[in-house]
Amino acid sequence: MTTNKKMRIGFLIFPGFPMACLTSMIEPLRAANEIAGQVAFEWQLIAEQAGRVTSSADVAFDAEHALADVREIDVLFCLSAPTACFSDTKRGHAMMRTLARHGTILGAISGGVFPLARSGLMDGRQVSVHWCYEAAFRAEFPKLKASGDVIVTDGRRYTVAGAAAAFDLALQLVEDRLGRDVSHEVACWFQHPLVRGEGVQQRVPVAQMPETGGQLPELVARAVEIFAMRLSDPVSIAEIAAQTGVTPRQIERAFKKATGQSPTHYYRAMRMKAARQLVMYSKDPIGEIALAVGYGSAAPMIAHYKAAHGITPKEDRARINQFRVDGNIPVPSV
């Protein structure tokens, strides 16, 4: 399957954008052009203002076009850190809406979902959110449908969670335009063994013993799912037992065997991971972060945070600020 019509893709890059997400899309598209012997895809780097933009890896890229000058483009992907925003917010959002009205597919990779969501163009749509940004995203956009899937397409909106997922989406675009054989050859060029499509959940690091084989037993997995839904409104082990139809003692034994921890400590660790996401990827005061992860006041949360991460939330935020690329861009970005 070949087509003479090129797909024109724009990458809207903000200071501190994750470089891997950009190259993970461009390289398979470049390879597809070579394999097919035609320019099926072309791309351009775009910024709010044309010029040099520095990535999270401190490598600079030259954006050839200002967003205001972009007219004929099929797809526009936002690439950024979570706190990125337009310097002229009103004008930037208006330009995004104009592109959408003229038929441009809008998308985002990893942290790029934040400026896309802030534009209002994801209202009522499902969004793929990288697990390390989930707490910050849900806190800022409680009404949006955050998904743990690696790729989500909702109408004319494409969102993906991270660099590997960007590669997967690029392969899907190749298959759609040039056929499965070309897509498969591109994957082989880069030794990309498994192409993930929609409906595939992200792999999230969990605290567990080696013998679990990377997967939690059903009872423990169900409890963890409930924990994740109740970070701001803590649930007791007795409540978990009632919901899963077992005794609290059975839950205790299952967690100890699968993770080496009690369910209470595992739950606290989940809440502290969420707290750290909010410390790193939001501007929320520490007191509000404490409430968001189920504490009535900041003091006990700070004590548990220090025990978990070896540093207080205030110190952690100050430390990460030392590495910010452009005043307010957090790292790591994925």
pLDDT digits (tens, 9 = 90+) for 20-51: 999 999 999 999 999 998 999 999 999 999 99
* Residue type at 305 in one-letter notation: Y
pLDDT at 284: 84
Q: What is the pLDDT of residue 188?
A: 86
Burial class, 123, CB count within 10 angstroms (exposed 0-12 / middle 13-18 / buried 19+): exposed
Angle at 177 between CA 172 and CA 180, to 5 degrees: 60
The 8-class DSSP code of residue 203 comes to P
DSSP label of 268? H
The pLDDT value recorded for residue 211 is 43
Please say whether the beta carbons of 119 and 67 come within 8 A.
no
Strands 51-54 and 60-63: antiparallel
- Of 300, 320, 304, 244, give the one whose Cα is nearest residue 268: 304
3-class SS shares of the chain: helix, strand, coil, % to 5: 50, 15, 35
| Low pLDDT (below 70) residues in the chain | 1-4, 193-214, 321-334
Q: What tokens were used for 112?
A: 């790029």
**Does the reported pTM lie above 0.75?**
no
Q: Residue 4's pLDDT is what?
A: 59
How far apart CA 246 and CA 218 sit, in angstroms, is 12
Helix axes 19-36 and 163-178, enclosed angle (nearest 10): 20
Q: pLDDT value at position 196?
A: 59
